Amino acid sequence: MGETIRNIFARQKWMAIAVATIVLAGLLTAVSPVFLTLSNMQSILVQSSVTAIMAIGMTFIILTAGIDISVGAILFFTSALFAQLMIDTESYLLAFSAAMACATFLGALNGVLVVKFKISPLITTLATYSIYRGAAIHLTGAQNIPVPREMGFLGNGKLAGVPVPIIIMIVIFIIGVYALTRTRFGVYTRAIGNSARSAQESNLPVNRVTIAVYAVSGFVTGIAALILLARVGGLQSGIGIGIEFTVIAAVILGGTKLTGGSGTVTGSVIGAVFLVLIDNGLNLMNASPYIYDIVRGSVLLAAVAVDRISAVRQQKAVEAQRAARIQGAAVAG
Amino acid sequence: MLKSTVASLKTYPAIPIIVALAVAFSLLSPYFMTGGNFEAMMGANAVVLIAAIGMTFVFLIGGIDLSISTVISASAVISGIVMAQTDSVPLGVLTAIVVGTGFGAVNGLLIGYFKLTPFITTMATQLIARGIAFVLSHGIAVKGTPYWVLDFGFMSWFRIPAVTIVGLVLVGLSVFALSMTTWGRQVMLVGSNPNSARYSGINVPFIEFTVYLVAGVLAGIAGFISIANLGNAIPGVGDTLLLMIIGAVVLGGTAMTGGEGSIERTVLGVMLLAILINGLNLVGIPFYDQLIIQGILIFFGTWLAMKFSGQRSQ
């Protein structure tokens, strides 16, 4: 029995964060009567949507053993471009398509730079982070720009009683799971993360897939940007600062390995919800908002430590099994 | 002649960019090539210099320390509070160093002995350090910096700011530690080939631990220097420094992959970014365009450094 449970945990990397999330939700229910209401559940999911959507894209990047520090800057640039174009042209169609095209392009540019120049993704995207952010402020002249009130629909509106951000998040989640588990693109993504060299040697389109992965992350970041813009009501200079670390934290909490090859989209989405639950709990306790960082950092450390301990245990079990088998063979021989 | 030039380019790929920038800016601004300007430039970059030494050690063993930036903030804030309460400068310095050492020790234990991934570990401690800085300061500058610290920030010796002298002393100690001691040789070996380091009997976890510890100590000192520079302990002081610190180290020509690089190179990398930002300010480029130029320079500078020194990848 214990063995089976352990096996399930080992195979489904997202189970651990799912259990942690349920436990935390249980604690919050016990502490606060309003927690387990439909409206609070909805608000938690709406709050998670931006991080969750970005985390889905980031999962693919991390699965290739890459990283994108610039997603916060892409988020900001897309928001800035959309808001500016709405002011200048008042055309939703134009602003929307330009923003999405641009988000995808900025992501793809990261991918191209990573592939062509062979500088580590960390340094590449740290550099583009600075470039994108500077370019966005250049574009808007460092001003806050309001967006039209109808935009609010994307952030606070409902379709058949369900908030729009949740619907968008679920759609992207389903596409993400499908792409990762049922398509060649998903298989190649994992293969690159497992070993870029053997992927190259077996003639997989490593460069194209790597660029595509960064482009996909840029695209979903663009969607997240529009939701965030709609929720906030306009462009603010602080948008996206530090969000890259929240997104990466969600992915890591979800059980995806930073070394690539192993991880799930499901885990990342639950990871994003988990982070919002923590905020929610701290909020219920009237904690200073500055404590959030401390708690998030500690939770992240605890998660990787637990993961490390279980990995060491598993390795020991495997070694013990192997030793027993060798001994058995020796006796039989 | 040509051969030795090429050889020195391999060791110090930042030099041609520094020369080009210095020439360009002295043509664009008459104020650039003045003693006063250089003095201001050196003072303004002492914090980055000290922090970048620590990051160099970490890069040399193939690690990364994202927490350096906010450990600067945390140690500045805690040291600032202690000094405001006691008015004792030595106690303030000690506090800053102790805080930095604490964070360095935690990073080092988790990465060296517990084998956690450096990126995630230091990302987590980065968040924790930032949170501590903001919680303890309530998000605003800590008041009550002793006058001696303020004076120290303005002190100069033969037109070299005192804060820079602190940085240069630390550079000297680090160069010595890296090139003249057994510890330094072990650091280089762990970075270039961890397996052969292990087989040759080097205590790899211990070396990793000490390297993150040193990075923490230096971040703590940088935190104190930031108080002298800015006049107050600012909780957000480190937030924007990460790009500068990593940028300076890679522009100098130290590889992130370990085993390749030196403290001297990082000093040049810091000079390069210092000249760039100072020059752009003198020419009147707004801060957002500076961000763009900085990003482009860090990217292509890293690429050039890689080309010159024949590293396969950063």
pLDDT along chain A (333 residues), means of 10: 60 82 90 84 92 97 95 96 92 93 97 93 94 94 85 83 93 96 94 88 91 97 95 87 92 91 93 93 85 92 88 85 83 68
Kind of pairing between the strands at B156-157 and A234-235: unpaired
State the Rg of chain B over Cα.
19
pLDDT given for residue B304 in this prediction: 84
- Indicate whether B102 pLDDT > 90: yes
pLDDT of residue B314: 47
Split at pLDDT 50, 70, 90, the class of B109 is very high
Which alpha helices (H) appear in B200-262, and where do they start and end? Answer: 204-230, 241-252
Question: Which residue on chain A is closest to B134 by alpha carbon?
Answer: A290
Q: Would you state the pLDDT for residue B2?
A: 64
Question: What residues does each domain of chain A span?
Answer: 14-315
Neighbours of B171 (CB within 10 A): 20
List residues bridging with A222 in a β-sheet: none
> In chain B, what are the domains?
12-21+33-309 (1.10.3470)
In this predicted structure, what is the pLDDT of residue A11? 61
Q: How many CB atoms lie within 10 A of CB B309?
A: 18
Is residue B163 within 8 Å of B229, Cβ to Cβ?
Answer: yes
State the CB neighbour count (10 A cutoff) for residue B4. Answer: 8
**pLDDT tens-digit map of B214-223:** 999 999 999 9
Q: Find, in chain B, the residue whose alpha carbon is nearest to that of A119.
A: B314
Say if residues B49 and B267 touch (Cβ distance below 8 Å): yes
pLDDT at B235 over 80: yes
The pLDDT of residue B90 is 95
Helix locations, chain B, DSSP H = 2-11, 14-28, 35-44, 46-60, 68-86, 89-108, 118-137, 147-154, 162-180, 182-192, 194-199, 204-230, 241-252, 263-283, 287-309
Give the pLDDT band (50/70/90) at residue B311.
low
State residue B161 phi and psi, 5-degree precision.
-60, 145
CB within 8 Å: A120 and B256: yes
- Residue B112 carries which DSSP code? I
Out of 1.10.3470, 3.40.50, 2.60.40, 1.20.272, the CATH code matching A14-315 is 1.10.3470
Give tens-digit pLDDT for B192-231.
888 888 898 899 999 999 999 999 999 999 999 999 999 9
**Angle subtended at Cα A246 by Cα A191 and Cα B99, rounded to the nearest 5 degrees:** 115
How far apart, in whole angstroms, are the C-alpha atoms of residue B32 and residue B24?
10
With an 8 Å Cβ cutoff, are B292 and A308 in contact? no
Per residue in B259-289, pLDDT (tens digit) is 889 999 999 999 999 999 999 999 999 999 9
Which residues, 6 or more positions from A170, have their beta carbon under 8 angstroms from its beta carbon? none
Instruction: Give the orientation angle of helix B182-192 with respect to helix B204-230, to 10 degrees.
Output: 110
pLDDT confidence bin for B187, thresholds 50/70/90:
very high
**Hey, is the C-beta of B116 within 8 angstroms of any chain A C-beta?**
yes
Contacting B with CB below 8 Å, chain A residues are: 67, 113, 117-120, 122-124, 126-138, 142, 245, 248-249, 252, 258-259, 288, 290-298, 300-301, 304-305, 308
Tell me if chain A has a CB within 8 Å of the CB of B240. no
Q: What's the sign of the alpha-carbon dihedral B243, B244, B245, B247?
A: positive
Q: Find tokens 């800053």 and name the residue.
A: B96
Give dist(CA B135, CA B74) in Å, integer.
Answer: 10
By CB neighbour count within 10 A (0-12 exposed, 13-18 middle, 19+ buried), where does A105 fall?
Answer: middle
The closest of B143, B170, B161, B165 to B227, measured between CA atoms, is B143
Q: Give the whole-angstrom CA distance, residue A110 versus residue A214.
A: 7
Over residues B102-121, mean pLDDT: 95
Shortest Cα distance from B305 to chain A (angstroms)? 11
pLDDT at residue B3 greater than cutoff 80: no
Q: Convert B286-302 to b/e letters by CB count within 10 Å (16 or more is b).
A: eebebbbbbbebbbebb
The percentage of chain B sitting over the pLDDT mark of 90, rounded to a whole number, equals: 72
Q: Cα angle vertex B54, ends B53, B59, to 5°?
A: 95
Residue spans of beta strands (DSSP E) within chain A = 145-146, 158-159, 162-163, 234-235
Q: Can you give the pLDDT at residue A156?
A: 82
Identify which of A133, A134, A293 has the shortest CB distance to residue B131.
A293
Instruction: Please report, as a single letter, which amino acid is at residue B156.
Output: S
Paired sense of beta strands B156-157 and B160-161, if any: antiparallel
* A263: alpha, beta or left? (left if phi > 0; alpha if psi -120 to 50): left
Q: What is the mean pLDDT of residues B123-149?
A: 93
Joined tokens for residue B163: 């804060």
Mean pLDDT score across all residues of chain B: 92
pLDDT, position A7? 64
Indicate the SS3 state at residue A68. Answer: coil
What is d(CA A64, CA A81) in angstroms, rounded to the nearest whole number?
A: 29
Q: State the DSSP H helix or E strand holding residue A267, giving kind and residue range, or none if neither.
A: helix A265-284
3-state helix, strand, coil in chain A (%, to 5): 80, 0, 20
Q: Would you call B257 and A120 a contact, using CB atoms and an 8 Å cutoff?
A: yes
Interface probe with A: pick from B113, B120, B249, most Cβ of A within 10 Å: B120
Q: In this structure, are residues A163 and A157 in contact, taking their beta carbons and an 8 Å threshold?
A: yes
